[in-house]
């Protein structure tokens, strides 16, 4: 087979890149090791910044998002038993975020790809990338007992943290930065109305909690738990009881509980790869960087990667220019490190860390009090949460 761009991974990054390239008349094949059903079964966050919203519109898949997505103009921080609102819209001159589940976003992209009869390979085994440091990169894989090879001009590694693309880079050519946090997030998804119409971030003596949502009838809640906890040890009843203990009185009164649809424990890490380009292979999204979910940056940083990469490839094919390709890694990393910083900072602000004494809790309380009562402090949270301007972030 022959294509212009071989995209490894059919998550949101790979699908969005494929759609943007197709709109520009650039041929791309997507290769995914999992089945399509498995890709859609993955539960992920769904806080979209304007950059991500605009890209989905550019890709022609934003119609359902605009109908069903929930606009959020602020968030609430709960500490010392009281809730305080960050008015993002006012503090940022009108900027907002949208709640739209990543599963729904992925389905929209999948449906658009099928409707356009674009080539996607699901259930590919033994995916490997070859010769990406040459002018003739290749991708090989097996499916249904047969071996396949794709000749291409470029490879886009959108295959996640555990994917083959980053793992195929010689260790001497790559630098990896990583911080693993000493706790995880126990998440529960339920078909219950959200406890509040905006997200509530909770700093509690018992640990962090988050009240999030997917729609007006589906809620997503999280609890900070030790990494030694097992999800099967947490009954629904135990989860709801612990969440109540971390909420304020008003939220407890409004909390509607129910049977979980999905429950899982996710570890938290900060991770960045430098660079993001290796010859004719590029890393995008989780293949190149991971953030703690506290700041809702993961999907949005991935979308920015895709924006820069799609524009660079389109420029290469339409204008015969390599300037965007050459600048890809540096541009992305400027924005990535700013997103990493905010996610790291917000995680430290809201969580209780093992082996830290009571003085750290007092530091957190004092900083939260400053941030809430200082317009400059509140604006710093707001402008980072809604997404830094592209010209500032890279």
CA separation (Å) from 42 to 35, 156, 262, 374?
11, 21, 10, 39
Phi, psi of 144 (to 5 degrees): 55, 40
Helix ranges (H only) for the chain are 12-23, 36-41, 50-58, 63-68, 88-91, 102-115, 164-167, 236-246, 249-254, 298-319, 323-350, 358-373, 375-386, 390-393
Interatomic CA distance for residues 104 and 108, integer angstroms: 6
In the set 79, 100, 141, 385, the catalytic residue is: 385
Which residue in 187, 137, 131, 179 sits closest to 344, CA to CA?
179
DSSP state of 2: B
Q: Using DSSP, how many helices (H) and how many strands (E) does the chain show?
A: 14, 20
* Pair 136, 119: CB distance under 8 Å: no
Q: Can 100 be counted among the known catalytic residues?
A: no
368 exposed, middle or buried (CB, 10 Å; 0-12, 13-18, 19+)? Answer: buried
Interatomic CA distance for residues 187 and 220, integer angstroms: 7
In the set 12, 137, 194, 293, the catalytic residue is: 293
| Bridge partner list, 130 | 138
In the set 201, 221, 308, 316, the catalytic residue is: 201
Q: Can 107 be counted among the known catalytic residues?
A: no
In the set 12, 72, 221, 292, the catalytic residue is: 72
Q: Can 196 be counted among the known catalytic residues?
A: no
Q: Can 72 be counted among the known catalytic residues?
A: yes
Collapsing DSSP to helix, strand or coil, 85 comes out as strand
Which residue in 267, 219, 214 sits closest to 103, CA to CA?
214
Interatomic CA distance for residues 322 and 313, integer angstroms: 8
Residues shown for the chain: 394
Q: Can 38 be counted among the known catalytic residues?
A: no
CA separation (Å) from 261 to 192, 205, 256, 343?
10, 28, 14, 27
Classify the C-alpha dihedral 56-8-309-316 as positive or negative.
Answer: negative
The two three-digit tokens of residue 61, written as one number = 């898949």
In the set 196, 289, 297, 307, the catalytic residue is: 297
Q: Which residues are catalytic?
A: 72, 201, 293, 297, 385
């Amino acid at each position: 087979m022959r294509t212009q761009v071989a995209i490894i991974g059919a998550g949101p990054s790979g699908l969005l890149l494929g759609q943007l390239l197709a709109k520009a008349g650039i041929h791309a094949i997507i290769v995914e090791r999992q089945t399509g059903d498995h890709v859609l079964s993955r539960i992920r966050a769904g806080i979209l910044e304007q950059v991500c919203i605009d890209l989905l519109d550019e890709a022609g898949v934003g119609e359902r998002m605009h109908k069903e997505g929930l606009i959020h103009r602020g968030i609430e921080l709960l500490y010392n038993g009281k809730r305080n609102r960050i008015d993002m819209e006012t503090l940022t001159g009108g900027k907002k975020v949208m709640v739209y589940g990543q599963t729904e976003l992925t389905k929209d992209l999948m449906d658009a790809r099928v409707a356009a009869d674009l080539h996607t390979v699901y259930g590919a085994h033994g995916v490997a990338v070859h010769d990406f440091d040459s002018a003739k990169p290749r991708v090989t894989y097996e499916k249904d007992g047969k071996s396949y090879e794709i000749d291409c001009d470029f490879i886009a590694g959108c295959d996640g943290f555990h994917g083959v693309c980053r793992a195929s880079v010689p260790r001497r050519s790559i630098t990896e930065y990583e911080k693993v946090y000493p706790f995880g997030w126990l998440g529960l998804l339920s078909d219950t109305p959200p406890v509040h119409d905006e997200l509530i971030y909770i700093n509690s003596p018992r640990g962090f909690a988050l009240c999030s949502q997917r729609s007006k009838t589906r809620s997503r809640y999280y609890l900070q738990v030790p990494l030694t906890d097992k999800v099967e040890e947490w009954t629904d009843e135990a989860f709801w009881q612990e969440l109540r203990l971390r909420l304020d009185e008003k939220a407890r009164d409004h909390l509607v509980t129910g049977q979980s649809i999905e429950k899982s424990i996710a570890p938290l890490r900060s991770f960045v790869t430098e660079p993001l380009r290796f010859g004719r292979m590029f890393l995008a999204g989780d293949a190149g960087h991971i953030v703690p979910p506290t700041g809702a940056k993961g999907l949005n940083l991935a979308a920015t990667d895709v924006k820069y990469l799609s524009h660079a490839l389109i420029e290469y094919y339409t204008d015969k220019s390599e300037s965007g390709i050459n600048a890809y890694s540096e541009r992305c990393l400027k924005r990535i490190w700013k997103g990493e910083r905010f996610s790291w900072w917000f995680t430290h602000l809201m969580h209780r860390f093992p082996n830290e004494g009571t003085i750290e809790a007092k530091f957190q309380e004092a900083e939260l009090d400053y941030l809430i009562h200082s317009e400059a402090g509140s604006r710093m949270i707001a402008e980072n949460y809604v997404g830094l301007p592209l010209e500032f972030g890279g």
